[in-house]
Amino acid sequence: MTQAPYDGRFKLLAEDHPELLLRLLGIVDRSTSSEVVHILRELQLDPMEVDHVYRIGEGTTGRLVHFEAITKWRRSQASRLALYRLLLKQKFKLPVESFVVLMAEKYAPKRMPARVKYEEADGFRIEAPYRVIRLWEIDPAVAFEPGCEALLPWVPLLKGGLEEFERAAVAIGRLGAPEEVRTMVHSIATLAGLRYDESVVRGLLEHLRRKEMSLAEALKVSWVYKDGVKAGRRRGLKKGLEKGREEGQLAAKRQLLRLTLEKRFPALGPFPEIDRITASEVLDRVFVAILEAKDAGTARSAVLSALN
């Protein structure tokens, strides 16, 4: 199943900054040391793998936290919580807390089932309790604390509105490393699309570009302001606009793919072959494959196979 860009960014946050994510979701507080939060990457019950499982604490006093982040509600996706909860309890003999994280209010169901249920055709059935976390009900204050900058791109999905969105974008623009700023600008614009129309996102960032010189360079290379889009506007051609927007999105996706490769498998190098991938959906598939790759060889094969 194709993974949406929102899910991919959630996966990166969950892997790279688990203690920040757990704080944001209210699962741990700021006094919890990152040393007692451990990512459990798999159940080792082939072929069952589980995303977003954490062991908090040590020994018999610890507990497991497992959650599914959902953009659009799907019963089958939520039902996995029940199965994973059973497998986790059997393997680790620890209390398990299960959560469904709803990312966008406009896609959220009005009613949630009291318990999640996993069923198979032969009658096998499991029911399990769970809790619901709605991102739009979470106070964004933690994202603005020192050391929590990785949460800034998620502010548009949290409690508040365009004022908080603008504050987060300005805070991103004032970070030191240009490469980090460009990546986070692209992320905040993409995530904001879950809540706001594209015209609103573009309008806000255009407003900030004029106010904040620190954001100007980052926005030039983001999907919001590519040269092709500007050229299309000058020509006044709808086709030019669409082509420019598409080229800008492709460039941003290639950049994100390179940054992910560099972070996860630095030995692979710059990988110029990425420039030969010209289809947006192929870049999405490769991005997901890189996130799921367990070693550099698998990641390299994912990129090269996209060229065939």
Assign domain 5-137 to a CATH class.
Answer: alpha beta
Q: Decide if pLDDT at 294 tops 90.
A: no
**Rounded to the nearest 5°, which phi and psi values hold at 239?**
-65, -40
Q: Worst-scoring range by mean pLDDT, 100-104, 119-123, 205-209, 275-279? A: 205-209
Q: Map residue 123 onto helix, strand or coil.
A: coil
Q: Model confidence over 125-160: pLDDT tens digits?
A: 999 999 999 999 999 999 999 999 999 999 999 999
Partners of residue 125 on adjacent β-strands: 119
Q: What angle do CA 100, 106, 109 make, to 5 degrees?
A: 50
Give the pLDDT of residue 182.
80
Give the tens place of pLDDT for each residue, 47-67.
445 568 888 887 777 889 988
Q: How many CB atoms lie within 10 A of CB 241?
A: 17
Residue in this structure with the two tokens 């050391």, named with its chain if needed: 147
- Per-residue model confidence as pLDDT tens digits over 227-237: 434 444 454 44
- The DSSP-derived string for 219-268 is HHTSTTS-HHHHHHHHHT-HHHHHHHHHHHHHHHHHHHHHHHHHHH-GGG
Which comes out higher in pLDDT, residue 302 or 38? 302
pLDDT 10s digits, 172-229: 888 877 778 888 888 898 899 899 887 778 777 777 766 665 565 556 555 555 543 4
Per the prediction, the chain carries an average pLDDT of 79
> 257 near 286, Cβ under 8 Å?
yes
For residue 149, what pLDDT is reported? 94
pLDDT of residue 158: 96
pLDDT, residue 266, reads: 82
**Residue 101 phi/psi, 5° resolution?**
-100, 110
- The structure's pTM equals 0.68
Instruction: Dump pLDDT digits (tens) for 2-19.
Output: 446 777 788 888 888 888
Measured CA to CA, the distance from residue 77 to residue 53 in angstroms comes to 15
For residue 270, what pLDDT is reported?
A: 74
**Residue located via tokens 């909860």:** 85
Pairwise CA distance, residues 19 & 156, whole Å: 20
- Comparing 241 with 258, the larger pLDDT belongs to 258
Cα–Cα distances in angstroms (integers) from residue 107 to residues 11, 157, 194, 219, 260, in the given order: 19, 12, 9, 28, 28
Using DSSP, state whether 297 is helix, strand or coil.
helix
Q: Classify 65 as helix, strand or coil.
A: strand
Numbered ranges of CATH 3.40.1350 in the chain: 5-137
With cut-offs at 50, 70 and 90, classify the pLDDT of residue 285: confident
Instruction: Give the pLDDT confidence score for residue 47 in this predicted structure.
Output: 43
Task: Write out pLDDT tens, residues 65-111.
Answer: 988 888 887 777 788 888 888 888 888 888 999 999 999 998 888 88
